[in-house]
Amino acid sequence: MKLEYQDFREDEVFDMKATTTIWSERVINVNLRLGDERGKREQVLRYIDAINEQIEWIRQNRSVITDMLLKNGLVTLAEDWISGAEDISEYDENEEPIKEKYRLMDGTEVELPLSEKQFLASLRMESITIDLTGGRENQSAELVVFCTPDYFAGHCMVLDLERDGTMTYRGLLG
């Protein structure tokens, strides 16, 4: 689904905002930083192809994005956060855990160890912020990703994406 010029509206936080569906399951915000307060609509019209190209790259490269999170040890980090939640493990008569289990802040019960498959299935894109303040040649995007269940207690993972597809994992925010 390509965004059209008329899909964007002015926003109090970002210059312009629209919504789109990404990774087949979520309607997310697409935020624009344009840099010039004047002529926002004209800038959207000028950059609409570049905006759609970046969004399409994100749609088509989910595995590249999720591999970046795996390479940065997010499964292990998720397990660390999970183990800090309410312990509801089951124990045998020797007080050895039968199942290591925790209740997250969102009420979800999770067993450890967490598999890569479980982690990858939990990932949800929350928003994309496209920065066009330096023009198309310096275009970049910030991707905000959450987990459902909420392994990181309300915190999100943030990645920076350059126009050429180079990505950087910035860390957890929350």
Residue 49: Cβ within 10 Å count: 11
Residues 141-165 have pLDDT tens digits of 999 999 999 999 999 999 999 988 8
Residues 68-125 have pLDDT tens digits of 999 999 999 999 999 999 999 999 999 888 999 999 999 999 999 999 999 999 999 9
Locate 48 and state its tokens.
């609409």
The span from the CA of 8 to the CA of 51, in Å, is 11
pLDDT of residue 35: 81
Asked if residue 121 and residue 105 are part of one domain, the reply reads no
Asked if residue 108 and residue 91 are part of one domain, the reply reads yes
Asked if residue 66 and residue 150 are part of one domain, the reply reads yes
Q: What is the mean pLDDT of the chain?
A: 95
Asked if residue 91 and residue 69 are part of one domain, the reply reads no
Residue 82, phi then psi, degrees to nearest 5: -60, -45
Asked if residue 138 and residue 108 are part of one domain, the reply reads no
Q: Enter the DSSP assignment of 151.
A: T
Q: How many domains does the chain have?
A: 2
Asked if residue 91 and residue 22 are part of one domain, the reply reads no
Q: Give the domain range for residue 94.
A: 85-112
Triad 25, 63, 121: Cα angle to 5°: 50
Global pTM value: 0.93
The secondary structure element, H or E, covering residue 44 is helix 40-60
